[in-house]
Chain A
Amino acid sequence: MGQQVDATGFAMWLFLLTEIMFFGGLFTAYLIYRNWYYPAFVAGSHQLDIIWGTANTAVLITSSFTMAMGVWCAETRRKGGLLLCLCLTLFLGLVFLGIKSIEYGEKIEKHHVPGFHYSLKSFTDPESDPQIYKMYHDKPLPLDMARHTEMYFGLYFAMTGMHALHMIIGCAILVYMVFRAQAGAYTTGHVTFVENFGLYWHFVDIIWIFLFPLLYLISRHG
């Protein structure tokens, strides 16, 4: 029995290794192009709302906390506590996705989605975007560098999109877990599912811990 417990935990860690390597390709691409097109990446980063981004980071960190507490509740056989923690984690996960969709909406409105009528106006003529210009007083980018902002947004959507996909899957599993927890499945000593899901959830949090500074905090000094 102990062997089985140990085995699934180990298996979950191996699965997380595959996830590290999967995101690794995206991070590699990001690092290369940020190095090549730094001004474009700075300008692109200014287009992201720091409030939403920071809020999302706080939301995800809190959800990691509630998930860890959920594991503790399962380990100490607190069914009510477990249910509360799972519901909170799910709620916070959905809040994260909600904020993300607001952000995506803003990008779509401003035509900053690569391949879909991508607009260079905010970068060649920063003053046309008064909200952002007030904060950073960006200089207009030359045309070729302005074009590279499409690369920034391509990576932005690829990386946050892949992250969001993992969040959606996580939220779906959380819904399943809420029902199972309600039935008492995790508070009779069989905590491995909760623990292993916790590992997955924390991993998704770690990805965001890196995405946040890389995408949002490139350089905000005006």
Chain B
Amino acid sequence: MAKDMQMNAHQEHENEQDDDRAALEEHRHVVPPRIYLIVGTTLLIFTALTVWASYLELGVFNPIIALFIACVKATIVVLFFMHVKYSTKLTKLTVGAGLFTFLTLIGMTLADYFTRAWGRW
């Protein structure tokens, strides 16, 4: 019985070592320069795009488009330059947690400001 438990513990240990090895493999996944070049060029193109769009009269869509383009740019920086696409689940979860908390701060604070104009009851 004790021996079985020892075996299980060893197996778990090996499984965890496999996870570490997998992480290390992913870690050693070298992103080819081609990708960086494509991403970098895309970022520059999108920059030009967003500057051009700001000269158009689009009313309420101006900030929406600007922020959307900025989000796309940030996403490809995160995924490719920062290797998150090739990272462990933990890294992806961590980025998500940060994003979530950031949005909570902004969203719930703005909720107060936007609803003040609704007046009292």
Contact = CB atoms under 8 A, between A and B. Distances in A.
B109 A28 contact: yes
Interface string A60-84: 0110110111001001100000000
Interface string B78-121: 10111100001011001101110110011001100110000000
Interface residues of B, number: 55
Interface residues of A, number: 51
A33 to B, nearest CB: 10
A74 to B, nearest CB: 10
B73 A9 contact: no
Which secondary structure characterizes the binding site on chain A?
helix
A199 B82 contact: yes
Contacts of A165: none
A195 B28 CA distance: 11
A3 B20 CA distance: 7
Contact of A72 (B31, B70, B102): B31
Given A10-B90, A28-B106, A219-B54, A2 B24 contact: yes
Contact of A202 (B24, B51, B81, B113): B81
B110 A28 contact: yes
B113 A32 contact: yes
B33 A213 contact: no
A6 B56 CA distance: 46
A3 B80 CA distance: 23
7 contacts: A5-B24, A61-B44, A202-B77, A202-B78, A210-B70, A213-B69, A218-B62
Interface of B: 20-21, 23-24, 27-28, 30-33, 36-37, 39-40, 43-44, 47-48, 50-51, 53-57, 62-63, 66-67, 69-70, 73-74, 77-78, 80-83, 88, 90-91, 94-95, 97-99, 101-102, 105-106, 109-110, 113-114
